[in-house]
Amino acid sequence: MKRQTVRNLIILFMFLLMPLALKFFSPVMVLRSASVGVIAASTVTIIIMFFAGMFSGRLWCGWVCPAGGIQDAVAKTYHAKDSHESLNKLKYVLFFIQIILLVAFLYLSGTVQFDYFYNMGFGLTSTLDWIVYLTMIMLFFILPITLGKRSYCRHICLIAPVMIWGQKLGRKLGIKHKVINFNEDACIHCNKCNKACPMHIDVMKNTEGKLTVSSPECITCYACVDACPKKALQ
Ligand code: SF4
Ligand code: SF4
Ligand code: SF4
């Protein structure tokens, strides 16, 4: 089976599990539990994703996360003009706001407890759960239509910054990650890699003078590798 088919099937499977998995990844749950002095699953996820980034870069984003998959499907159907790269910084600002609120809520609650399964239930068990779920689904549809490919991932996702920082630290510590190698001599500048990239990375520009794709936004999905007719990307 082709690599991109396998990737899309994994993501589709994860999409079906999304109502069950949402509370493990929800920024709303981070703040909701903190408001009553509880550190719960979603907060732990931030730490886990940092370590995941250290050891596997952003493989999660490319191969598992259903939020990315929905946006890929929308972007393929609706070819929106892509937003400017400078908007990518927004996610760092939002992340710091989340951390400030998290600390403030825990401080104001006057207590800090650890309860991994706080308010977990089975799937979407309250009106708030449904509001969060439907709002997220709506964003995954609206943002790629208005701001281009995976614009939620590039501009807003609060998990992306920790994975990027983890990835950088991992590289500094010498932990080997999967990288996309570039052979400039084989390249015919057909631009197919750029078109295939779900993260709107200018693969050619990114590899200029280098031997690998080095963008922190690269999710190691291999879409560029599989789209290259000359095997210039490996
Ligand atoms: S950036 Fe966030 S939303 Fe996008 S694929 Fe990664 S974890 Fe999922
Ligand atoms: S798809 Fe391959 S040959 Fe075409 S521009 Fe990209 S690297 Fe070069
Ligand atoms: S540069 Fe290639 S591997 Fe990285 S995100 Fe884009 S298509 Fe995927």
CATH number for 210: 3.30.70.20
Mean pLDDT value of segment 132-149: 93
pLDDT attached to residue 210: 67
Based on the domain organization, do 184 and 161 belong to the same domain? no
Mean pLDDT value of segment 63-80: 90
Strands (E) located in the chain: 38-39, 113-114
Taking only the tens place, the pLDDT of each residue in 150-180 is 999 999 999 999 999 999 999 999 998 888 8
Residues 6+ apart with CB under 8 A from 170: 53, 54, 55, 57, 177
CA of 191 to the centre of ligand 2 (A): 6
Closest protein CA for atom 1 of ligand 3: 218
Question: How many CA atoms within 13 Å lie on the side-chain side of 130?
Answer: 3
Mean pLDDT value of segment 81-108: 93
Pick from 17, 45, 60, 65 the residue to mutate for probing ligand 1's pocket: most ligand atoms within 8 Å of its CB: 65
Whether residue 38 has pLDDT greater than 90: yes
Whether residue 211 has pLDDT greater than 80: no
Taking only the tens place, the pLDDT of each residue in 181-192 is 888 889 999 999
How far apart CA 46 and CA 39 sit, in angstroms, is 11
Which helix (H) or strand (E) element contains residue 119?
none
Closest protein CA for atom 4 of ligand 1: 153
pLDDT attached to residue 176: 85
Mean pLDDT value of segment 33-55: 95
| pLDDT cut 90: percent of the chain above it | 68
Ligand found nearest the CA of 151: 1
Cβ atoms of residues 222 and 203 within 8 Å = no
Task: Provide the domain limits for residue 149.
Answer: 3-175
Stated pTM of the model? 0.91
Mean pLDDT value of segment 73-91: 88
Based on the domain organization, do 44 and 14 belong to the same domain? yes
Cβ atoms of residues 67 and 158 within 8 Å = no
Cβ atoms of residues 24 and 32 within 8 Å = no
How far apart CA 83 and CA 144 sit, in angstroms, is 9
159 lines ligand 1 (CB under 6 A): yes
Whether residue 214 has pLDDT greater than 90: no
pLDDT attached to residue 76: 86
CA of 189 to the centre of ligand 3 (A): 16
126: DSSP letter: S
Based on the domain organization, do 185 and 150 belong to the same domain? no
pLDDT attached to residue 208: 62
Based on the domain organization, do 126 and 196 belong to the same domain? no
Number of domains within the chain: 2
Based on the domain organization, do 136 and 220 belong to the same domain? no
pLDDT attached to residue 209: 61
Based on the domain organization, do 108 and 205 belong to the same domain? no
What is the residue-averaged pLDDT of the chain? 91
Residues 6+ apart with CB under 8 A from 129: 22, 23, 121, 123
CA of 163 to the centre of ligand 1 (A): 10
Based on the domain organization, do 154 and 53 belong to the same domain? yes
pLDDT attached to residue 139: 94
Based on the domain organization, do 110 and 201 belong to the same domain? no
Residue with tokens 């807003």: 156
CA of 41 to the centre of ligand 2 (A): 42
Closest protein CA for atom 5 of ligand 3: 218
Based on the domain organization, do 146 and 184 belong to the same domain? no
Based on the domain organization, do 32 and 117 belong to the same domain? yes
